[in-house]
Structure 1
Amino acid sequence: MNNKYLLLAVLPFLFAACQNLPQQHTNKPNTMLTENKAIHLSQTLTDYYWSYQTQNNLPNITVNFDKNQRFNIATGCNQQGGTWQLKDQALTTSPLHSTLMMCSPELMLQEKRSADLFSQAQLKIQMSHDQAHTPQLQLTDKNGKTYLFKGEIKPEAQYQSEGEIIFLAIAPEAKPCLTNPNAECLQVKEIKYNDQGIQSDIDQNWKILPESIQGYTHDPKMKKVIRVKRFKSKEAPLKYAYIYDMTVQQDILTP
């Protein structure tokens, strides 16, 4: 009898202990899927430049999101920028800052469109691909209007490296390419600068650059020094990719 009463006395504590045991979270796989989707979305967002065409006769609005949660916008007129973050399939942005150049009325209007969309905004975001597998970024504003931006992969993502900044002097006269005499290649000299920005070294002889410089338009009437990013390609034999960054110096040739 004593054992029977002892068992009856202990049962309430056993039930209470069972109720306090940690419960399994059945939604953990869903949580992981959501987190992985958010990481993939953020990675794609920062791996591409995103362009939106407002009118055929105007430059695209191009947005660059970086991994430090900052973004900048090229509108064809002033440069705009701010900070961004992703949360629950929404893109939230800070108030924009901007340069203050005067431009044509058409470009100023385009700049206003960009500011209206991205300044202190909360935009629904959706990623997709077109038939050519080019990423597309769909942004929907608070009024339900959608904007479709096309992606162009950044060279850092394409070549999986940050690239090397170099400076090249560009000769006005192009020369036949070494591997294809029927095509013309640029003549270049690499220039180096010290920490004070003073030229410290320059190649003595012009070299024919076998690769083109992406984004650079050559003018045979100009002698230029440009800054480029140089990336090692994964092709064999080793090749380089050159991406135009900016013009440092240019001189017009006199007849």
Structure 2
Amino acid sequence: MPAAHAPLVKILSLLGLAAALTACAGNQTVPFTGTGTPAQSGQVVSSPGPVAPALATHEWELVAMTDAQGRSDTRWRLPGQAAPRLLFADGRANLRNLCNAVSAGYTVQGNHLQWQPGISTRRACADVRLMDLEQRMGQSLAGSASYEVRTNAGGPPLLVLYFGDGSRWELTGSPTAQTRYGGPGERVFLEIAPERMPCSHGAMANAQCLKVREVRFADNGVRQGAGAWQPLYGEIEGYTHQPGVRNVVRLNRFQRPQPLPADASAQVYVLDMVVETERVR
């Protein structure tokens, strides 16, 4: 890498994929210790019917937080920062839109979540308020919590998490990509160039597309090679491109349901995680 380039940042996968783990071996995950205690019984009014499947079929965005004294806690609202999101997948609860990726295993027993020891990537963040929020939210994923899913006619479901210290989170749900597209999708890695490239496709005359190439990894995580650079028609769900920054991303690729909208790609790419980041200018 030329000396003028900024240091390469690699983030360790929390989801156990060997390719991502080895490709990101420059960083470490660290245990996320918390002070959570078992949730008190009687805190939850159970919603009718089975609710556990809804946890994994939706991605949950924080809309309200209450502290242990029952007061509204608005410290999670940071200017220019997307709201934290909680995703349940593969037996792990994953916090997103924080400085680091925070993850904890969980099991469901009735309307109770039992958290398992969590881990986090170790990455400095310029915003100390975001790091403080990450620490506080990560500490909540310890011990156990009670939960309920409230249905809302004509609107998104609401997930309420009750923690043992009396605090709670409220999160609105939106269907995950797997739910929307009817399957788990195909796991792929793409390298995204620092700058976009000209592209034309149907009505997209003189457009600027992401410049990408597919990256291949061996089972042990060693990078084997990459394909040719080409434009990516359409955007990547959940990914915001920064000019001058090269990324390697782990994506889920889905087939778009028929009939296709005019000039839409037959495939949809959804961000799972950023594996490598390098600022080149």
Q: Same-fold call, TM > 0.5?
A: yes
User: Match of 2:212?
Assistant: 188
Q: Deviations over 1:9-32 (max 9, x none)?
A: xxxxxxxxxxxxxxxxxxxxxxxx
User: Match of 1:37?
Assistant: 49
SS of 1:94's equivalent in the other structure is strand
User: Match of 1:138?
Assistant: 160
**1:215, distance to aligned residue in structure 2 (A):** 2.2
**1:156, distance to aligned residue in structure 2 (A):** 1.7
User: Match of 1:97?
Assistant: 118
Instruction: Tell me how many residue pairs correspond in the alignment.
Output: 213
What's the TM-score, normalizing by structure 1?
Answer: 0.67
The residue type paired with residue 224 of structure 2 is: Q
User: Match of 2:3?
Assistant: none
Q: Which runs of 5+ in 2 are unaligned?
A: 1-45, 64-75
Q: Deviations over 1:32-60 (max 9, x none)?
A: xx9x922xx11110112222252233553
Identity of aligned residues (%): 21
Query: Does residue 84 in structure 1 map to residue 94 in structure 2?
Result: no
Q: Structure 2 residue aligned with 1:216, among 230, 233, 239? A: 239
For 1:178 and 1:223, the matched residues in 2 are separated by 24
Q: Deviations over 1:48-100 (max 9, x none)?
A: 222225223355332222253x3233472444433333344x22223542336
Given the superposition, is the C-alpha separation of residues 44 and 218 from structure 1 closer, same or farther in structure 2, using an over 3 Å criterion? same
Given the superposition, is the C-alpha separation of residues 126 and 143 from structure 1 closer, same or farther in structure 2, using an over 3 Å criterion? farther
User: Match of 2:190?
Assistant: 168
For 2:132 and 2:232, the matched residues in 1 are separated by 41
**1:242, distance to aligned residue in structure 2 (A):** 0.8
Query: Does residue 62 in structure 1 map to residue 85 in structure 2?
Result: yes
**1:114, distance to aligned residue in structure 2 (A):** 1.9
The residue type paired with residue 208 of structure 2 is: E
The residue type paired with residue 199 of structure 1 is: Q
User: Match of 2:57?
Assistant: 47
Q: Is the 8 A contact 2:248 2:276 kept in 1?
A: yes
Q: Is the 8 A contact 2:147 2:159 kept in 1?
A: no
User: Match of 1:241?
Assistant: 268
For 2:132 and 2:243, the matched residues in 1 are separated by 35
SS of 1:113's equivalent in the other structure is helix
Q: Is the 8 A contact 2:250 2:274 kept in 1?
A: yes
Given the superposition, is the C-alpha separation of residues 101 and 93 from structure 1 closer, same or farther in structure 2, using an over 3 Å criterion? farther
**1:164, distance to aligned residue in structure 2 (A):** 1.5
**1:241, distance to aligned residue in structure 2 (A):** 0.3
Q: Deviations over 1:149-172 (max 9, x none)?
A: 122322122212222222334342
User: Match of 1:11?
Assistant: none
Given the superposition, is the C-alpha separation of residues 128 and 113 from structure 1 closer, same or farther in structure 2, using an over 3 Å criterion? farther
The residue type paired with residue 164 of structure 1 is: E
User: Match of 1:202?
Assistant: 227
For 2:279 and 2:205, the matched residues in 1 are separated by 28
For 1:195 and 1:146, the matched residues in 2 are separated by 41
The residue type paired with residue 147 of structure 1 is: W
CA RMSD of aligned residues (A): 3.3
Given the superposition, is the C-alpha separation of residues 75 and 121 from structure 1 closer, same or farther in structure 2, using an over 3 Å criterion? farther
Higher relative helix content: 1
Q: Which runs of 5+ in 1 are unaligned?
A: 1-33
The residue type paired with residue 49 of structure 1 is: E
Q: Structure 2 residue aligned with 1:157, among 166, 179, 184? A: 179
